[in-house]
Chain A
Amino acid sequence: MLQNYSQPLEFTNLTTWIDSTLGANLPSFWSIAIEMVLVAVALLAVYSLTAMILIYVERKITAFFQARIGPNRVGKYGIFQTVADVIKILLKEIIHVNKVDKFLFYAAPFFMIVASMLTFGAIPFAQGLHAVDFNIGVFYVTAVSSLGIIGVLLAGWSSNNKYSMIGAMRSGAQFVSYELSAGFALMTMVVLTGTMQLSEMIESQRFCWNIFNGHISAIVAFIIYLISGHAETNRGPFDLPEAESELTAGYHTEYSGLQFGFFYLAEYLNMFIIASIAATVFLGGWMPLQVRGWDAFNQIMWYLPSYMWFTIKVFLLIFFSLWVRWSFPRLRIDQLLNLEWKYLLPINLVNILVMVLLVLAGWTLNDIF
């Protein structure tokens, strides 16, 4: 790929430097091993940092939606609130519940965290910051993220608690239904771009984001993806599995300390993952806003490094998710399933057909202009 714009603040220089230094001084096996460890450590660090930032952002924005100030005691504007919370949760005792199925009870949080971690690795954060780039990227993301639900089901069952059980059952029904919609919405965009690889997808959106490129159909797919993504992460108006007023905390009622922390972390990260996949597939990922032929403009856009572009897009979507969360009341389970099976899925099926026709007839914006 040809990038003849100067990109002063990219991470690419750093990663290339690390790679070349290691390659020059070590046998290739060891340099690869060290790089793998580095990537893993970096991902874990970004993972936990993102969660902390997200928790702070969520609490603040939630407060603003409710005409409150939000956390403002720990540090200026309360920015160290989540740090304090994390320290607290690390120091908390893990309460061992007696009549649980021990093996499943302790294994369940790991399903959640592993599933979201696997998905997290496949997100293209910036130019060159893309740990796992399969040629089936989008499919990989959908496949791997579906593992988390097993954690929910097992947690709910093994807790030996009716609240947990009901929460898990609701979660299962919800996830199985909405995964279909999310998959179809992504499939619509795969039809448009003709590839499943996330990096190629971003590259193809260089001058025209997918949401503009596929106009009607892409916008419908985008909205459907956001809705079903929300439902998959058990947030917003779709938080039946952990409905506080009915089920205490749903499937993680019996968990405490770090195990609860895992669920909590995975929930926030899932929100981030859904937002980043939406940003990558529909809004051009880390690609700066560019217009064909306006070289000066494009150069200025590139001065803002690509990870900043990615962050801005993702946080806009996360803001939208919070906005939705604090606007709408929780759905009842029959309304939830009605929405999916009677509205989203038929619309999605029609939409994917429309997209195929658009692509075949050459009515996408890229084809027209």
Chain B
Amino acid sequence: MRTFPEYISDLFGGIKSLLTGLSVTWKELWTKKVTQQYPENRSTLVISDRFRAELVMPHDENNEHACTACGICQMNCPNGTIQVIPKMVETEDGKKKKLLDRYVYDLGMCTFCNLCVLTCPSDAIKFTNQFENATFTRGKLVQQLNKEGSQLRAKKPAAPKTQIQTPPKEA
């Protein structure tokens, strides 16, 4: 059984906390509204940089990417979104080397968990915030991320360049 003073202090403590809550929401009432009226404000829309909307493979001006076709991203992907299709090429000095042929990414399967980007040893892929990915067919969601004719960026500028005897790619 509680004592009477405890009861009273409980009561007023409760009232005080209720008033604190009310004052918080009162301030919230006058804050700036955060609603984005999307199709109208498309030009001024600000999407956070960290928003994960689509996986891309950045290419530099020489049409070179950093993907070594190691397949770690494919192994880490929880639901088989990524398919790395390598090809074997012979370098100048007669060694065989595995290079990226096609990097297939199925946007429709992706859960945007970011595991591929985190585990990529050469930072070849990243997520962008380009969120307008709607298409009319599911087939269009399956994308090839490496561009036509792109090649692996050399590790060091001094390193000998690999010669690629690529057969013309099939679509």
Contacts and interface: CB of A to CB of B under 8 A. Distances in A.
Chain A in direct contact with chain B (Cβ < 8 angstroms): yes
Contact of A65 (B11, B14, B28, B37): B28
Interface in B18-43: 18, 21-22, 24-26, 28-29, 31-35, 37
Contact of B22 (A64, A323, A343): A323
Contact of B34 (A67, A72, A347): A67
Interface residues of A, number: 15
Contact of A67 (B11, B22, B31, B37): B31
A360 interface: no
A76 to B, nearest CB: 14
A179 B14 CA distance: 22
Contacts of B32: 67
Contact of B28 (A67, A72, A324, A343): A67
B35 A64 contact: no
Contacts of B35: 67-69
23 contacts: A63-B33, A64-B29, A64-B33, A65-B25, A65-B28, A67-B34, A67-B35, A68-B33, A68-B34, A68-B35, A69-B33, A72-B37, A323-B25, A323-B26, A323-B29, A324-B22, A326-B25, A327-B21, A327-B22, A327-B24, A327-B25, A328-B21, A343-B11
Interface of B: 11, 14, 18, 21-22, 24-26, 28-29, 31-35, 37
A13 B52 CA distance: 66
A279 to B, nearest CB: 20
Given A67-B28, A67-B31, 10 more contacts: A63-B33, A64-B33, A65-B25, A67-B35, A68-B33, A68-B34, A68-B35, A72-B37, A323-B29, A347-B11
A240 B34 CA distance: 30
Is chain B's binding surface mostly helix, strand, loop or mixed?
helix
Contacts, number: 36
Contacts of A326: 25
B154 to A, nearest CB: 51
B19 to A, nearest CB: 10
Nearest to A325: B25
B26 A328 contact: no
A67 B25 contact: no
A246 B75 CA distance: 39
Nearest to A69: B35
Contacts of A347: 11
Nearest to B10: A343
B65 to A, nearest CB: 42
| Residue picked from B14, B24, B34, B35, most chain A C-beta under 10 Å | B35
B70 to A, nearest CB: 45
A324 B25 CA distance: 9
A1 B166 CA distance: 103
A15 to B, nearest CB: 39
**9 nearest interchain CB pairs?**
A327-B25, A69-B35, A327-B21, A68-B35, A67-B34, A69-B33, A67-B31, A327-B22, A64-B29
A323 B29 CA distance: 9
B54 to A, nearest CB: 27
A65 B24 contact: no
A205 to B, nearest CB: 26
A64 B24 CA distance: 13
